[in-house]
Amino acid sequence: MNKSSQQLIEQLKALADPVRLRIVSLCSQGECSVSELTEVMRQSQPRISQHLKKLCDSGMLERFRDGHFVFYRVPSQGAEASACRDVLALLPKSEPQFERDVEKLRDLRGATEVAASPTTDDAAVRRLYRALIELTVTVPLGDLLDVGSGRGHLLKLLASRARRAVGVDIDADARQLARAELMLAGIDNCSLRMGDMYRLPFDDAEFDTVILDGVLADAEQPLVALGEARRLTRPGGRVLILSECDHAGVEQLEARFGEWCHASGLRLAPPRRIPSERPTWLLAVAAPA
């Protein structure tokens, strides 16, 4: 048998256990930590770890470290991701046990509490969100990276328009809150990572769209941050720069962005002021020169 057929056999063997089937179903809804899976499955940590090893060995799950925790999720890119999606399509859509597991995880994360944190009551923020959506109409987001993702507001806004979305933030509490909100919103193509914008843990040219989400204006090393964004952007991709601004200093901020992008090998389009009168947000689009 060829490699793909042998992998399918291993995946089906791994899913033959009811607990492992539940774990994969839950991890297809979003990344989960070992402690969360232990709580939801009502099994010991060593037993859950054994199940997770089997699932990772079969290619049904991938693992990554985020600070002090290890998270598991269904692969999101590459040939393995496509193969996993084919297998997951065989799972029943209305299995009561799967639904109970998701609800238990939501309760565990306190998702019903953090969900009541919309920021779109502000008119300027609504205009900003509309401008971001407009940018996705002409050029697809593809693989999206949100640097400075916080509680995941932009991820929730844009994830449905992206092939996959990754949020990076140095605040562990913010990442955990974002996971809860994304799960409550039913968004399953997002992942949260700990990362330093000056040294991000991703391969060169891994993303089609990189957002510097309110982090550049106050950065101690803006050229390094832009250099990292450029490194991660594929040919034909874009770097989106968002920044809150004081309307009195918006021209100075535009000039700084222009200087920094030029020095970093990025071609900057004229930034958009939001709103156009007395702006409180600046949205700039840059591309590798």
DSSP string across 86-153 = HHHTTS-TT-HHHHHHHHHHHHHHTHHHHTS---TTSHHHHHHHHHHHHHHHHS--EEEEEET-TTSH
Check residues 192 and 109 and name the one with the higher pLDDT: 192
pLDDT digits (tens, 9 = 90+) for 2-23: 777 888 888 889 999 999 999 9
pLDDT range class, residue 44, cuts 50, 70, 90: very high
Residue 262: pLDDT band (50, 70, 90) is: very high
pLDDT of residue 85: 82
Residues 288/267, Cβ–Cβ less than 8 Å: yes
Q: Which domain holds residue 19?
A: 3-109
Least confident of 35-39, 113-117, 128-132, 264-268: 113-117
CA 101/CA 185 separation, integer angstroms: 16
In a domain, residue 79? The reply is: yes
Among 76, 109, 142, residue at a domain's last position:
109
118 domain residue, yes or no: no
Mean pLDDT over residues 142-146, rounded?
A: 97
Do 12 and 44 fall into the same domain?
A: yes
Query: Is 180 in the same domain as 251?
Result: yes
Q: Kindly state whether residues 145 and 198 are assigned to the same domain.
A: yes
Pairing of strands 142-147, 207-213: parallel
Report yes or no on 117 lying in a domain.
Answer: no
* CA atoms of 151 and 176, how far apart (whole Å): 8
Same domain, 54 and 135: no
Q: Which amino acid is at 108?
A: L
The CATH number of whichever domain residue 143 belongs to comes to: 3.40.50.150
Indicate whether 278 and 170 sit together in one domain: yes
The residue with greater pLDDT, 80 or 233, is 233
How many domains does the chain divide into? 2
- Considering the domain architecture, whether residues 143 and 254 belong to the same structural domain is answered as yes
Distance CA 165, CA 117 (A): 21
Please state the rounded mean pLDDT for residues 33-50.
95
In this prediction, residues 169-177 reach a mean pLDDT of: 92
CA angle 72, 77, 78 (to 5 degrees): 120
| Dist. CA 205–CA 239, nearest whole Å | 12
Taking the model in full, what pTM does it have?
0.86
| Whether residue 41 is found in the same domain as residue 147 | no
Residues 143 and 241 in one domain: yes
* Shared-domain flag, residues 53 and 160: no
CATH number of the domain at 87, please.
1.10.10.10
- Average pLDDT value for the chain: 90
Q: What is the pLDDT of residue 189?
A: 92
Residues 148 and 270 in one domain: yes
